[in-house]
Amino acid sequence: MISLAGKRAVVTGAASGIGRATAELLAELGAAVVLADVDEAGGAEAEQTVIAAGGRAVFVRCDVSDAADCERVIATARDAFGGVDVLFNNAGIIRRSTVCGITEDDWDRVMAVNVKSIMLLSRRAIPLMRAAGGGSIINTGSGWGIKGGADAVSYCASKGAVVNMSRAMAIDHGPDNIRVNCVCPGDTATGMLVEEARQLGGSLEAFYEEAADRPLGRIGTPGDIARTVAFLASDAASFVSGAVIAVDGAGTA
């Protein structure tokens, strides 16, 4: 049912985890993909994986909090593939701290990478989508954008912002046939979760053990999230906009 043939996609955070799995799946479904990430080695490797599988991909080194970098990403999609139909705003970081312990630098960095980036990329992609008659923007929120979480106040604030800015963008750009949705993963087995475990002084095993008590009894895989994003990117989701979709095995339910 889902084909992305003829679509041009931009994926941020494409060097690893959810972004990489999504970039690979979108390409497998027929999209030409611009992979954006600050990690040059990982991004180049992801680009080669897509090309080796017969897909079309270009990697652009980009810090998503930097306006000039974001302009270059969208310009690359325009110059290499002729436009942008799908934008997956997915790059994100976490810093573990309460509101009393966080430094201003960490607060600003989390907000810039997780929230400001969506504005920087979307404002360049939307005119191209409008010119093409529409498009699909998917923003990565989090279960911690829906409910609160302990010892990650800047991350929770940033993901709450992503959830509600997705709704606002869906309202503003619906008349241009641009759909905007927010995917909220629960704990998902990626580098971020390993880093979270390290910041908490533990290992990934603790996340697996904790998940055993949840309704579906496990944490997510990058593929779980990627398949949801592929649906939202496709014309199969033609009337889905302004939605906040938890992909968390009923973790927030």
**Catalytic residue of the set 81, 88, 144, 155:** 155
Q: Does residue 106 touch ligand NAD according to CB under 6 A?
A: no
CA distance 210 to 27: 34
β-sheet with 8-12: strand ranges across: 56-61, 32-37, 8-12, 86-89, 135-140, 178-185, 244-247
What are the DSSP E strand ranges found in the chain?
8-12, 32-37, 56-61, 86-89, 135-140, 178-185, 244-247
Q: Binding string, 109-128, against ligand NAD, x = CB under 6 A?
A: ----x---------------
Rule CB under 6 A: choose which of 76, 142, 154, 166 binds ligand NAD: 142
Rule CB under 6 A: choose which of 55, 135, 160, 185 binds ligand NAD: 185
Contact predicate 78/129, CB 8 Å: no
155 is catalytic: yes
Rule CB under 6 A: choose which of 91, 165, 170, 230 binds ligand NAD: 91
Rule CB under 6 A: choose which of 122, 166, 188, 241 binds ligand NAD: 188
Q: How many residues of this chain bind ligand NAD (CB under 6 A)?
A: 29
CA distance 206 to 188: 13
Rule CB under 6 A: choose which of 24, 85, 187, 224 binds ligand NAD: 187
Going by their DSSP bridges, the two strands 32-37 and 56-61 should be labelled as: parallel
CA distance 3 to 24: 14
Provide the annotated active-site residues. 155
Query: Site residues (CB under 6 A) for ligand NAD?
Result: 12-13, 15-19, 37-39, 42, 62-65, 90-93, 113, 140, 142, 185, 187-188, 190-193
